[in-house]
Chain A
């Protein structure tokens, strides 16, 4: 066990060293040059603030609330986005009917929906979730659609000759698995966008809790050390969500694309 730990450190020595140096520079600049914890809180300040938050337990509640908002958004986006992208990709007429609407709605920045999110849902979890949904749904629809457009014709024909002729079966057994890499890429892009929307929605008042809300609240209190804690928390959580998804998808769903250049 111990030798394993040493091995990991050895293998990642350059990465670890680089990280340590950056932290040291940060600490030095904040502590010796800036001398102002409002302009630049030092690493030590941030760490102690973080443990203070952990100690009173508040941070866990906010992480939970933010993840809940995110979960609302991603669930809604997947439930509507994937079927919409599928039907647009498979049925030409659906594409012609839906595409103009999407092209008009898509360029509206998701954050511009915040007023209506509040008007429609009030200061609820659904309001923040709605903004996340708006940010996520378009990349999912478009990537699902693209994936369906790129299903190789020969695979569809091979399936037909093997007795798979109904649309519903062709979609399920051929088009969806074939489009899976593109759909997964869409979800990953969407998660990045959704995470940003989440923070902004919470900051601009679509919620009374959550990491984004706390970040803004602490800014009002001029507690910049806490602002940095929430910034880092948001960064790490986003990273973990992305890594988890990538690990799960690559290992389970996209094993067959190993060896191809994606």
Chain B
């Protein structure tokens, strides 16, 4: 079960030097159903990453509440896995040992954990590289390993902060396909931050489009396209057009 409710969440950052305030998020509310794939989309600086970090428990909120299955979120928890935009693998651990990290933290022995994560290594196609160190991997492979590392904890929600942002276009497409396969196989709720309209339309069930700063929910767009989807189908293009118009309005407002 992974039902996330974001209720009236606001976040204001205060600069220490001159006490000046920046409003990053203002009264954001939406629900994510169990097993749903939702993309957060918005102009840069709209606070979508901040929101994701609050859900992860890495950041605090000024007012409002976020619950997972009705229980308020207070700090980081393995139930909410996260994949970061930057490469976040532990460089001193091999791919295998990166993926076992979460299980080791739960107190499972390394030998035991290694057997358990075998299926996640297979899932992301890194069998050949399981004994390699991160510096030996390409960017795409590193993000694959990071996804496997998050999945190995069997989270209820997987939070992804522009995980493919630093990858080239082709690798990006491949990883999007693989991510959807994983989503179909695993019963996990996906919350995915992106600034790419194409990515959002291809991946998600719903797109939460946000306004520019302070970030509010501008519109929630249902992507009711049958899967597997075609990237360039006429329906996809129409939706893409709609969302792009929404974002453009925000740009003009600034």
Q: Convert A169-183 into 0s and 1s, putting 1 for each residue whose CB lies closer than 8 angstroms to a CB of B.
A: 100011001101000
Most chain B CB neighbours (cut-off 10 Å) among A169, A173, A174, A260: A173
Q: Convert A130-163 into 0s and 1s, putting 1 for each residue whose CB lies closer than 8 angstroms to a CB of B.
A: 0000000000000000000000001101111111
What's the Cα separation between A31 and B88 when bound, in Å? Answer: 64
Report which of A162, A180, A259 forms a contact with B105, defined as CB distance below 8 A: A162
Report which of B58, B86, B91, B106 forms a contact with A161, defined as CB distance below 8 A: B58
Contact (Cβ within 8 A) A259 B136:
yes
Given A163-B77, A163-B106, A177-B90, A256 and B133 contact (CB-CB distance below 8 Å): yes
The minimal Cβ–Cβ distance linking A168 to chain B, given in whole angstroms, is 12
Residues of chain A with a CB closer than 8 A to B135's CB: 256-260
What's the Cα separation between A258 and B146 when bound, in Å? Answer: 21
Contact (Cβ within 8 A) B149 A177:
no
- In this complex, the interface size class of chain B, counting residues with CB under 8 Å from chain A, is 20 to 34
- In this complex, the interface size class of chain A, counting residues with CB under 8 Å from chain B, is 20 to 34
What's the Cα separation between A173 and B93 when bound, in Å? Answer: 10
Contact (Cβ within 8 A) A155 B153:
no
Contact (Cβ within 8 A) A154 B86:
yes
Chain A interface SS verdict (over half): helix
Q: Convert A52-87 into 0s and 1s, putting 1 for each residue whose CB lies closer than 8 angstroms to a CB of B.
A: 000000000000000000000000000000000000
Q: Is A36 interfacial (CB-CB < 8 Å)?
A: no
Residues of chain B with a CB closer than 8 A to A177's CB: 90, 92-93
What's the Cα separation between A174 and B89 when bound, in Å? Answer: 11
Q: Is B76 interfacial (CB-CB < 8 Å)?
A: yes
Q: Measuring CB to CB, which residues of chain B are less than 8 angstroms from any residue of chain A?
A: 56-58, 75-78, 80-82, 84, 86-93, 101-102, 105-106, 133-136, 146, 149-150, 153
Q: List 29 A-B contacts (CB under 8 A).
A: A154-B84, A154-B88, A157-B58, A157-B82, A158-B88, A158-B89, A158-B149, A159-B101, A161-B58, A161-B80, A161-B81, A161-B82, A162-B78, A162-B101, A162-B105, A163-B76, A163-B78, A163-B102, A163-B106, A164-B101, A164-B105, A169-B105, A173-B101, A173-B105, A180-B92, A256-B93, A256-B134, A257-B135, A259-B135
